[in-house]
Amino acid sequence: AEGSDLPFVRDDMASMSHPLFALKAKDIRTIRYEQNEVKTEISANAEYGRATIFDKDIWIYCISKLVQALNEEAEISRTVRFKAYDLLVATNRSTGGVSYSRLKDSLDRLIGTKIFTNVKTGGKRSASAFGLLDSYSIVENDSSGKMVSIEVTLPDWLYRSVTSKSVLTISSDYFRLRKTIDRRLYELARKYCGNQSSWKISLPLLLEKTGSTTILRKFRASVKSLEE
């Protein structure tokens, strides 16, 4: 996005592989699945629902800022402080007042979404329960009460992904995709196709990997729409 403070956008490889984020708002179901010996259970806070793939923009922004700092040989930690306005611009969002309240909702969903998994990151296999964020705080508000600065603490396994460079560069145009299924399909294509000229997967398995709850017929139509 114009004026973005992210020269390169990075996404976490583990979450690109596994459908940790909901594709529908207010999804409060507990999701259980197993892929390649990785067992995962995702539960949601009944009040906020599961974190959505749009909420993941906060993750992507923090990951990108940490990798940028590493490349500049700066010291980093699991706790990232940033300006709310900078995140909104970088992720192609409106900077109107409602976007700030939506950002607060996203933080609450990230905190409230709990995961049990034995996912492998940074060469280690974690078998633990955690939230998609360990914590967050609104560090500064302006005179109208609108959040200015935010501080978030990433879960340890996600931080290990960053320090071990288990991340991939993605296009900044990712933030222009407004359909959740399109975002998820882009992630999968970027992760599994990589630099290859092609990657093959059956439609039923692709549907499973997206985490979508739609029926196969409607999913096929969504893929055709994206292809066009």
pLDDT at 49 over 70: yes
Separation between Cα atoms, residue 112 and residue 103, nearest integer Å:
14
Q: pLDDT value at position 107?
A: 96
pTM of the model: 0.90
Assign 3 a pLDDT band (cuts: 50, 70, 90). Answer: low
Q: What is the secondary structure of 34-80 as a DSSP string?
A: EETTEEEEEE--TTT-PPBTTTHHHHHHHHHHHHHHHHTT----SEE
Query: Where do we find the tokens 């990232």?
Result: 80
Q: CA 67, 70, 74, 77: dihedral to nearest 10 degrees?
A: 60
pLDDT in tens, 130-150: 889 999 999 988 888 789 999
One-letter amino acid of 185 = L
Question: Any bridge partners for residue 140, and if so which?
Answer: 149
pLDDT in tens, 80-125: 999 999 999 999 999 988 999 999 999 999 999 998 877 666 777 7
